């Protein structure tokens, strides 16, 4: 599968345009916002559940921690996307290898529902 990833990556770079970049970034941001909304709703419901009986903290505390981790990861994704947008709007339109790798990772993460 590793070899296939590099082949797909090369094909992605060959067909890559700024319009593609904008659409992928828009899609990634939309997915991040959707994930945040769902996770926030679940966390609020979980907090309401815990509020009714403090002993429930022991049984569902790890679930609440996972929800918070998900929100933190989505914050990190938004920061990365924002940094890429700012970097590309203030410098040349050429993407560095690192930028391309970060965008590819964000796209793969968005496709995976993270």
Give residue-wise pLDDT tens across range 12-47: 555 555 566 777 778 888 888 888 898 899 899 999
- Domain for residue 38, yes or no? yes
pLDDT at 61: 86
Residue 1 lies in a domain: no
22 lies in a domain?
A: yes
Q: Tell me if 4 is assigned to some domain.
A: no
Provide the percentage of residues in the chain whose pLDDT is more than 70: 71
pLDDT at position 83 over 60: yes
| Residues 12, 23: Cα–Cα separation, whole Å | 14
Number of folded domains that form the chain: 1
The verdict on residue 12 lying in a domain is no
Q: Which domain holds residue 73?
A: 18-111
56-77: pLDDT as tens digits = 888 888 888 888 888 888 888 8
User: Is residue 49 exposed (0-12), middle (13-18) or buried (19+ Cβ within 10 Å)?
Assistant: middle
Residue 6 covered by a domain: no
Predicted confidence at residue 16, as pLDDT, reads 54
82, part of any domain: yes
| 18 vs 2, higher pLDDT | 18
pTM equals 0.55
Does residue 102 contact residue 25 with C-beta atoms inside 8 Å? Answer: no
On whether residue 101 sits in a domain, the answer given is: yes
CA distance 100 to 56: 45
């Amino acid at each position: 599968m590793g070899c296939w990833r590099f082949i797909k990556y090369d094909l992605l770079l060959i067909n890559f345009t700024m319009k593609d970049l904008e659409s992928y970034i828009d899609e990634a941001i939309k997915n991040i916002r959707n994930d945040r909304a769902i996770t926030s709703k679940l966390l609020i419901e979980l907090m309401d559940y815990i509020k009714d009986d403090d002993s429930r903290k022991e049984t569902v505390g790890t679930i609440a921690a996972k929800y918070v981790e998900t929100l933190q990861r989505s914050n990190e994704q938004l920061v990365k996307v924002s940094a890429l947008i700012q970097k590309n709007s203030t410098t040349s339109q050429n993407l560095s290898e690192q930028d391309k790798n970060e965008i590819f990772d964000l796209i793969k993460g968005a496709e995976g529902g993270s």
